[in-house]
Structure 1
């Protein structure tokens, strides 16, 4: 897949699942204002990817939030194993601290094979964090705080998302036509 196809698949996931199912009630406003930066990495190894992460952390911290509020750093091929990617997500959180951006930025991670601890691989609840490609979502804490203040009972989003997906089921998820990134197909 080329860069444009990766971004198109990621946008489709955002529009149909994240925004369409309201899995993140904060996503729509920054997405429709085109304040989401999509960065597709073609790093050949983990160290090069982590260097890109460093650059993106610095970029986002310095960017005008009205122009770029959040970044999705996507790598379509390097991290097919979820547990390996989960380690990268942990390193990304450490990088926030190293860049002295704690309290300013935070990292969320999404993966095509995301799996909650102690859940079965095919548990529909896992799909709350499944994306077409391994992605690190760099977020401004200030934006999260504003969104949480405006959203009643923000702490219940996680449970509501699982409920939504349980009602939808695997057939409903498949019917959304969200690219799953596991085989390059929908």
Structure 2
């Protein structure tokens, strides 16, 4: 199996077993089951190439209604979380000039994700940790509809933190 296939499969496994398996994102299961998630891998380590791929993937998402959401996987770059976070700002700034503000948004996932003001080893950080740095491209309309249909959106982050901290206390290890 080539590296690209392995990295995409690792992402699918993480999504299925961790994100969906622990119900960290109650909106992820349906597009996963329906095979409406596009997995794009950008192998370049160059930020310019990654930004160009982001633009390509936003355009693909815009012209492909059968794709609900895209995970842009970036396995060979942005390993340092602070560098990644700077790139997330660049990525978000790309949306407006393309006329896509209010249509798409970006969620961020990284193997070393750490929320501001939270200790690095706090299991709460695992809610946004992934096998590789990645950008999750979301349709705002779909997200709004999912949020409107969920009985307690505000409780999702608190529930996730409790689940992940509970896993650590049961195993004695960080998840």
* Count of residues in Structure 1 that have an aligned counterpart in Structure 2: 174
Q: Which runs of 4+ in 1 moved over 2 A?
A: 170-176
Quick one: distance in 1 between partners of 2:171 and 2:156?
20
Task: State the Cα RMSD in Å.
Answer: 1.8
Quick one: distance in 1 between partners of 2:82 and 2:142?
29
Could you tell me which residue of structure 2 aligns to residue 83 of structure 1? 82
Could you tell me which residue of structure 1 aligns to residue 158 of structure 2? 159
Q: How does 1:64-143 map to 2 (within 5 A)?
A: 64=65, 67-143=66-142
1:82 Cα offset (Å):
0.6
| Preserved contact between residue 123 and residue 174 of structure 2 (Cα < 8 Å) | no
Could you tell me which residue of structure 2 aligns to residue 41 of structure 1? 42
Any unmatched runs of 5+ in structure 2?
Answer: none
| Preserved contact between residue 125 and residue 165 of structure 1 (Cα < 8 Å) | yes
SS in 1 for 2:38: strand
The answer to which structure, 1 or 2, has the higher relative contact order (CA under 8 A, 6+ apart) is: 1
Quick one: distance in 2 between partners of 1:170 and 1:144?
32
Quick one: distance in 2 between partners of 1:78 and 1:175?
25
Quick one: distance in 2 between partners of 1:87 and 1:171?
35
Any unmatched runs of 5+ in structure 1?
Answer: 177-186
Could you tell me which residue of structure 2 aligns to residue 23 of structure 1? 24
1:112 Cα offset (Å):
0.2
TM-score (norm 2): 0.94
SS in 2 for 1:98: coil
